[in-house]
Structure 1
Amino acid sequence: MKAFIFDMDGVIINSEPLHFAVEAELAKENGIILKEGELESYVGTRADEMWSSLKAAHQADFDVDTLLKEANEKKLAYLHDANMEPIDGIRELLEQLKEKGYKIGLGSSSTVAFIDAVLTAFSIKDQFDVVLSGEQVAKGKPAPDIYLAVADRLGVSPQNCTVLEDAAHGVQAGKEAGMTVIGYVNPYSGNQDLSKADLRIEDIAAITI
């Protein structure tokens, strides 16, 4: 291993409940009656792809770009008001990686603005050598684009990268990129199939470098 790449939502921050709450509220406002577990099935994917899929599935009538903007504003406002901390063990893991000289990347399906807000709020932005949003690649997870792009910018071959993920779509993206994938079982991320991961953990502290 030469590089360690983090997902963000559900790995660095327990933000999935926030995403679920905002998305459920906006779905209801736009006449979408969500099925049980429907939002969970999109965890790890880009918001634009999720809303486009929901719009088609429910034959709803709304502008995806307008909804994305509204959702992002609500999430940023909540993050600004909430006194949140990184998931236990993340700060220590980042320190270990830095001490050992590994390159550190982040590949998240969230927007550039939300990623920046989270990393800034936690004062860990400078810990990452490369930070990429799903907005900045052609295809979002489960396609491998974002992880391949992070590896390329880090200057490390995919087979020498380890990915930390909490979502089924993210695990698939990491494996298709040819990377070793650690699946973090986060109960806040809903029912996620992490069976394709090379290793599954329930505590970030279980990762030793």
Structure 2
Amino acid sequence: MIEAFIFDMDGVIIDSEPIHFDVDVQTLDYFGTTIKKEALEKYVGMTNPEMWGLIRQEYNIMQSVDEIIEYQLANKITILQTLNIEPIDGIWELIIELKQNNIPIGLASSSPRVFIEAVLKKFTISEFFDCIISGEEVNKGKPAPDIYLEAAKLLGAGPRNCMVLEDSRNGVAAAKAAGMRCVGYINPNSGNQDLSGADLIIRSVRDLNVSIISREMI
């Protein structure tokens, strides 16, 4: 039985991973470090503090994590506001169908709250979500299960009766660690992500509907 459906955001609702990759590469360049996009793929789905903490240590960056994030996040929001972009194909239809079937909807993103709100405002989509939570608002970000367990709690749903839509290895691992069913969406722009831990893998959000969700929850 499906009690709640929880969306990741980056790479699922908005095709933002190219933005993240480009800004993160430019951010590291600004602070004197050269890195290729492919080297950032393993961090997809992680929170900013956790990602930059690891990168800062690996590349011996002198600036603090807070300084790096301040520069990076300001650039990302500026770019987001100037882009002519729509939600990923099929997202609107899936959200509307879920609402029509009275299935509570949550959003659980590793992005900072300010970026989440900027995306939802751009798409005028906030009202559809019964709960919105950032990975920076729980003790541990993805691949730890904290964010999904908190989303289930806020939605009043049992983890085993929740389904998650994710596009990253870290996100899938978090959903499964929370004891939830997980759909892995293959988004080529999210890089080379191992989604083999998902219960169902799709190549288009249009391949997912309430009928398939209900079947997968049996």
Q: TM-score range by the shorter chain?
A: over 0.9
- What whole-Å deviation, never above 9, does each CA across 1:43-85 have from its counterpart, x for those lacking one? 0000111111011111121111011111111111111111110
User: Which residue number corresponds to residue 156 of structure 1?
Assistant: 157
TM-aligned CA deviation for residue 32 of structure 1: 2.1
Matched, 1:205 2:206: yes
Equivalences for residues 1-209 of structure 1 within 5 A: 1-34=2-35, 37-209=38-210
Contact 2:21–2:37 (CA under 8 A) maintained in structure 1: no
Alignment-mate amino acid for residue 200 of structure 2: L
TM-aligned CA deviation for residue 35 of structure 1: 5.1
TM-aligned CA deviation for residue 38 of structure 1: 1.2
Alignment-mate amino acid for residue 160 of structure 1: N
Number of residue pairs aligned between Structure 1 and Structure 2: 209
Alignment-mate amino acid for residue 43 of structure 2: Y
- What whole-Å deviation, never above 9, does each CA across 1:121-164 have from its counterpart, x for those lacking one? 10110000000001110100000000000000000000000000
Runs (5+) with no aligned partner, structure 2: 211-218
- What whole-Å deviation, never above 9, does each CA across 1:79-129 have from its counterpart, x for those lacking one? 111111000000000000000000000000001010001011101100000
What percent identity do the matched residue pairs reach? Answer: 49
C-alpha distance in 2, partners of 1:36/1:86?
A: 23
The secondary structure found in structure 2 opposite 1:182 is: strand
TM-aligned CA deviation for residue 190 of structure 1: 0.3
TM-score, with normalisation over the residues of structure 2? 0.94
The secondary structure found in structure 2 opposite 1:140 is: coil
C-alpha distance in 2, partners of 1:131/1:82?
A: 23
- What whole-Å deviation, never above 9, does each CA across 1:153-177 have from its counterpart, x for those lacking one? 0000000000000000000000000
Alignment-mate amino acid for residue 51 of structure 2: M
Tell me the C-alpha RMSD between the 2 structures: 0.9
The secondary structure found in structure 2 opposite 1:37 is: helix
Contact 2:25–2:36 (CA under 8 A) maintained in structure 1: no
Contact 2:98–2:105 (CA under 8 A) maintained in structure 1: yes
C-alpha distance in 2, partners of 1:148/1:157?
A: 9
C-alpha distance in 1, partners of 2:185/2:174?
A: 15
Runs (5+) with no aligned partner, structure 1: none
Change beyond 3 A, Cα 1:64–1:97: same
C-alpha distance in 2, partners of 1:160/1:43?
A: 26
TM-score, with normalisation over the residues of structure 1? 0.98
C-alpha distance in 2, partners of 1:183/1:10?
A: 11
C-alpha distance in 2, partners of 1:27/1:33?
A: 6
